[in-house]
Amino acid sequence: MTGQKQKMLAGELYVADDPELAADNRRISEWMGRYNATSTLSQPERQALLAEAFARVGEGCNIRPPFFCDYGYNISLGRGVFLNFNCCILDVVQVTIGDMTQIGPGVQILTADHPRDAGQRRQMLEFGRPVTIGANVWIGGGAMILPGVTIGDDAIIGAGSVVTRDMPAGGIAVGNPARLRLPA
- The catalytic residue among 26, 34, 56, 114 is 114
In angstroms, the CA 31 to CA 4 distance is 22
**Span of 43-47, 67-71, 90-94, 135-139 with lowest mean pLDDT:** 43-47
Q: Kindly state the helix (H) or strand (E) to which residue 33 belongs, with its residue range.
A: helix 19-35
pLDDT one-digit tens code per residue, 83-133: 999 999 999 999 999 999 999 999 999 999 999 999 999 999 999 999 999
pLDDT one-digit tens code per residue, 11-42: 999 999 999 999 999 999 999 999 999 888 88
pLDDT of residue 126: 97
In angstroms, the CA 101 to CA 90 distance is 18
CA dihedral for 86, 91, 95, 99, sign (positive or negative): positive
Decide: helix, strand or coil at residue 159.
coil
Determine if residue 98 is left, alpha or beta; phi over 0 gives left, psi from -120 to 50 gives alpha, anything else beta: beta
Per the annotation, the verdict on 7 as an active-site residue is no
Which residues, at least 6 apart from 111, have a Cβ–Cβ distance to it below 8 Å?
74, 90, 91, 92, 93, 94, 95, 128, 129, 130, 131, 147, 148
pTM over 0.85, yes/no? yes
